[in-house]
Amino acid sequence: MIPRKRLVVLISGFGSNLQAILDASRAETLLADVAAVFSDRSAAFGLTRARDVGIPAIHRPFSPFEGLPEARRAYDAALADRVADYDPDLIVLAGWMRVLSCAFLDRFPGRVINLHPALPGCFPGAHAIERAFEAAQAGLIDCTGVTVHFAVEALDAGPVVASRRVPILPSDTLSSLKARVQVAERATLVPAIASLLG
């Protein structure tokens, strides 16, 4: 029997991509288990999703580090310590809204991937779908997409694991575009994880 791999998922919000991973794990289309879910936000619904299926759901707020020297690095190093306790084969940033520094990334070389709701190199940072929609309305683009990439210290950048195009239709509203990008995210993320885990 092939041993199942171990994932740690970092989230900040609703956790729909986490749910796609949990569903694939349960359906055994992904031969991996989520060992723990971490969030920087206590209200992140993804924590509830994890707790409901008996997975450790860990809130790690940044606030105790605020004002400390090297606060960001100290937070990232402490987070890495806790994540390492779960011995992950792969760490998935699925809607995690903090850029991780080398204090975290260097602990898990080649084992941290991020999901970005735009094509590689496009619209880094928050509100990528909104900004793509505005660019389409201004006639600048007619296509956006999603990217799964290895995480580096730069925002939403790093070697691409998988990406998928999502056309922006003339009839699109922001909410119809968001819905299609979110479907594309789930369709891209789970196979990308599976391919990396071999």
Residues with catalytic roles:
116
Q: Per-residue string for binding with ligand GRF, 93-122, x by CB under 6 A?
A: -xx-------------------xxx-----
Angle between helix axes 174-197 and 128-137 (nearest 10 degrees) is 130
Tell me if 88 contacts ligand GRF by CB under 6 A.
Answer: no
Query: Taking CB under 6 A as the criterion, which residues in 33-52 touch ligand GRF?
Result: 46
Let me know if 87 is exposed, middle or buried by CB neighbors in 10 A (0-12, 13-18, 19+).
exposed
C-alpha distances in angstroms, 154 versus 32, 78, 149?
A: 28, 20, 12
The residue among 18 and 100 lying less far from ligand GRF, judged by its C-beta, is 18
Please name the amino acid found at residue 75: Y
Q: Which candidate, 137, 113, 135, places its Cα nearest to that of 192?
A: 113
- Per CB under 6 A, the segment of 14-22, 67-75, 105-113, 134-142 that binds ligand GRF is 14-22
The residue among 16 and 101 lying less far from ligand GRF, judged by its C-beta, is 16
Binding site for ligand GRF (CB under 6 A): 11, 13-18, 46, 94-95, 115-117, 185
